[in-house]
Structure 1
Amino acid sequence: MPSSLARCVLSCALSAAALAIPVMSAQSAAAEVVPMPPHEKTFASPDGPTFVVGSEGESINKVPPLNASGTVREVFISGSSYTRSDAPSGGTLAVGYHVGCAVELQGGNVGVGPNAYLNPGLLDQEDIGPVVSINVGPGSVSDVPLLTKEVVSGVPARIMMRDIHLVVNGCIGPAVVRQYTLMQLHTDSLDDIGVVYGDPLWI
């Protein structure tokens, strides 16, 4: 027959395990996928060409941070940004995020895997699993460029994003993210820029 001490150890271990299960389940349940509304605008250039800029299918998956730190925010971002134009020349399509906190986002990097990093804004859409990691210090809001694509005249262009991993480090309170899609139209006589903004979301 087990001693009183053995029975106590067994009982305490089972109680601890029972308590751990709801905690782990609560952390898993904290993940939340938020669908964001589409946005589109049509811009008319002074010399005649018009171009459309839009985003659709955006979703932001808010997940608990891997290190369980209260100063870290993690999300996985998906969506599609596009443009089309009747201009006789091409341009550049770009997509990124504004990220705000009670502190300034003082820098970032875009990487594939834990050790391979690329400059922000130079990531090709065929790269797999990019991670945007932002360290923060006292301040306000930062621009985090993600992807760019050269647009050919007369050909609609699109940038697809699937589970882009965005990590905000050192944020004392909630952070806010807002997507933007930018099209810069190039003609012989001018450069024309149109931007469409998504809805802001607390993460």
Structure 2
Amino acid sequence: MVTGVAAVAVAVGLVVGAGPGTAAPATFPDHQVSKTTADGWRVTAIKADEKVRSVAPLNQSPWTREGFLSLRGEGRITGAGRTAVSAGTITAGFQIGCNTDVTSGITLGITAGPTAQMSISWPPALIVGAQANGNISTTLKPGTIANIPFGTKKLAGPSAGLTVDGVHVKVDGCLGPVAVRAYTTLAISTPTNDNTINVYGQPHYL
């Protein structure tokens, strides 16, 4: 029986300064996707202010990847639709992929095949006016991707957004690259149609 676990922990915190072995945050272009719904509304999902900063892991393990993520997601509704929009949400987050679990043969209280255990926790108050998803846990099999929403905000008008800054990511027990990809999702509903659009960033490696 193969035993093992690879863990990913994510938490939000403000990053002040840079310690030894850190690199300046890499910034990436903003992207947006616009579509016209069947009701005639023009909807736009925006991924903005994305930053990825890889740092040397505090535990100095060759099997650990660590970094900090920042992102803003925005949603806009324009035009003159035939039916009123009754609800809408904007969600922003990252997709995180672990390439290969290297903890086989180490027993950590889990008797199963290779998996990557991911957990997310941060104070919801850091995202004012939005619903932050704290205390999330999920299981990744190596070679798959987890879709991790960092927060969701309801639209109270034609536009809304949310920002997360300094999201701490630590991946243990992974061999090879750990990839992250930002995304923003805008979903709206009318009495006659539901529409969802997504915009994605490029994959980056910790």
TM-score, normalised relative to structure 2:
0.70
State the match for 2:8 in structure 1.
none
1:53-103 Cα shifts (integer Å, max 9, x gaps): 101111111111111112221111112110110363231111111112323
The answer to whether the 8 A contact 2:98-2:179 is kept is: yes
> Structure 2: which 5+ residue stretches go unaligned?
1-18, 102-114
RMSD (CA atoms): 2.9
State the match for 1:68 in structure 2.
60
> Structure 1: which 5+ residue stretches go unaligned?
1-26, 114-121
Instruction: Determine which of 142, 165, 168 is the counterpart of 2:146.
Output: 142
State the match for 2:51 in structure 1.
59
> Do residues 101 (structure 1) and 117 (structure 2) align?
no
1:116-137 Cα shifts (integer Å, max 9, x gaps): xxxxxx8861399x79888765
The answer to whether the 8 A contact 2:100-2:176 is kept is: no
Amino acid at match of 1:76: F
- SS of equivalent residue, structure 1 residue 175: strand
- SS of equivalent residue, structure 2 residue 62: coil
State the alpha-carbon separation in 2 of the partners of residues 33 and 133 from structure 1. 27
The answer to whether the 8 A contact 2:118-2:140 is kept is: no
The answer to whether the 8 A contact 1:32-1:63 is kept is: no
Q: Report percent identity of matched pairs.
A: 26
> Do residues 41 (structure 1) and 33 (structure 2) align?
yes
Amino acid at match of 2:88: G
Instruction: Determine which of 106, 121, 126 is the counterpart of 1:111.
Output: 121
For residues 77-96 of structure 1, the aligned pairs below 5 Å read: 77-86=69-78, 88-89=84-85, 90-96=87-93
The answer to whether the 8 A contact 1:135-1:169 is kept is: no
State the match for 1:16 in structure 2.
none
State the match for 1:159 in structure 2.
162
Task: Point out the more displaced range, 189-198 or 131-140.
Answer: 131-140
1:151-174 Cα shifts (integer Å, max 9, x gaps): 1243x1011111011222221111
State the alpha-carbon separation in 1 of the partners of residues 23 and 162 from structure 2. 26
The number of equivalent residue pairs is 167
Measured at CA, do residues 140 and 85 of structure 1 come closer, stay the same or move farther in structure 2, by a change above 3 Å?
A: same
Task: Compare CA radii of gyration and give the structure with the larger one.
Answer: 1
Shift of 1:140: 2.1
- SS of equivalent residue, structure 1 residue 112: coil
State the alpha-carbon separation in 2 of the partners of residues 140 and 169 from structure 1. 16
State the match for 1:125 in structure 2.
127
> Do residues 183 (structure 1) and 186 (structure 2) align?
yes
